[in-house]
Amino acid sequence: MIGGKTTILYGDNSYERTAQLAKMKIDAEKSGFEIQKSNSDELSKSDFVSLICGVSLLSEKRFVYIRNLSENSEIWQNLAEILPRISTDVHLCLVEDKIDKRSIVYKAISKIVELYEFKNLTARDSKNLAEFARLFAKKQGLSLDNKTANFLISWVGVDEWRIRDAIEKIALIGEANEQNIREFVPQNIESNAFAIIEMMFLGDILKLQEEFSKLKITDSEDGAFRFLGMISTQIFNLAALKIGKNMGKTTAEIAKEIGANTWALGKMENFVQNLSESQLAEIVSKFTQVDEIIKTESVDPWNLVESTILEIASKLKS
């Protein structure tokens, strides 16, 4: 850790941002820096200049971190002019949810600061997340095998915060297995979408009706739009799996190409084998119609999605 420097941590992945900030604070303390937090909404431009450019009478080295300084336009618009004057005793760390890379400010400061971008994870990161889950579980005194780690990720989604929360819950129970995860860990809407796709292909009308009854209570109309988007993604993945298999590709190869979770995509293989191309084309057409109706007509989105899925399930069952 050195002074006279500015670091900016930004991006949608709040977990990685937080972890990097924590690491930097530890490094700063080891290097003899005093940790100082400042609130952006309480700073004027002159306050900010004094904070990072002023010389301490005690010659203290300071690690100063500020969250979302970009919301303070008076300071943010003048960053390129202020930052080169930073004191050699100060290491400034700015933590931002988002930064507009097209802005004049970004283009100017990117030449004089150290930038770390933390993007949201995708299904492509599932393997690394499984390892993350196992290591975190080990710290909690919990044994988590690879199969259960993959199931946990499919259940809670590609999100480190949710994975941590789930493991902490399971650690209190003392045993990590699929049954305990299903019973004690809330399922995220993306995972619920996958479960409903499975029920649809199995033609399990009663379970589908039960799941939609829960969803209508726990999720708003916006939740229905998100849910439809996730269902549509699963149908796209299914179509890609069908096409890929016909071309002789492995599930892992197909998953890599479309950015899907290999474990989750693998669970669809049985459905693909029993589904004709005409049936798949009809399902894709149905969901395309639903998407168009929801966008152009005044309808109850949950009822429309439910009736469509129940209709498909009934046809597949017969």
End-of-domain residue from the set 117, 137, 169: 117
Among 43, 52, 113, 110, smallest CA distance to 72 is for 43
221 and 291 co-located in one domain: yes
Question: What's the rounded Cα separation, in Å, for the pair 217 and 230?
Answer: 19
Q: Are 17 and 10 in contact (CB under 8 A)?
A: yes
End-of-domain residue from the set 184, 206, 227: 184
Give Cβ neighbours of residue 8 (< 8 Å, ≥ 6 apart): 93, 94, 95, 96, 99, 109, 113, 114, 115, 116
171 and 51 co-located in one domain: no
Q: What is residue 78's predicted lDDT score, i.e. its pLDDT? A: 92
Q: What is residue 195's predicted lDDT score, i.e. its pLDDT? A: 80
137 and 179 co-located in one domain: yes
Domain count, the chain: 3
End-of-domain residue from the set 89, 117, 145: 117
Q: Tokens 């991006």 — which residue?
A: 11
- Give the pairing of strands 34-39 and 62-67: parallel
Q: Report how far apart, in Å, the C-alpha atoms of 68 and of each of 1, 162, 199, 238, 260 are.
A: 22, 23, 44, 41, 33
SS (H, E, C) 129-195: HHHHHHHHHHHCCCCCCHHHHHHHHHHHCCCHHHHHHHHHHHHHHCCCCHHHHHHHCCCCHHHHHHH
* CATH number, domain containing residue 92: 3.40.50.300
Question: What's the rounded Cα separation, in Å, for the pair 10 and 70?
Answer: 11
DSSP annotation string for 105-137: HHHHHTTTSEEEE-PPP-GGGHHHHHHHHHHHH
198 and 310 co-located in one domain: yes
Q: Are 171 and 143 in contact (CB under 8 A)?
A: no
Question: What's the rounded Cα separation, in Å, for the pair 14 and 16?
Answer: 6
* CATH number, domain containing residue 238: 1.20.272.10
Q: Are 306 and 219 in contact (CB under 8 A)?
A: no
198 and 312 co-located in one domain: yes
Residue 198 sits in which domain range? 189-317
133 and 113 co-located in one domain: no
Provide the residue-wise pLDDT of the chain in tens; the chain has 318 residues: 677 899 999 999 999 999 999 999 999 999 999 999 998 888 899 999 988 887 665 558 899 999 999 999 999 999 999 999 999 899 999 999 989 889 999 999 998 999 999 988 877 787 888 999 999 999 999 999 999 998 898 888 888 998 999 999 999 999 999 999 988 887 776 677 778 888 898 888 998 988 888 777 766 667 788 888 888 888 888 889 989 988 999 988 898 888 877 777 887 888 888 888 888 888 889 888 988 898 888 888 888 889 999 999 998 876
Q: What is residue 55's predicted lDDT score, i.e. its pLDDT? A: 66
Question: What's the rounded Cα separation, in Å, for the pair 299 and 87?
Answer: 60
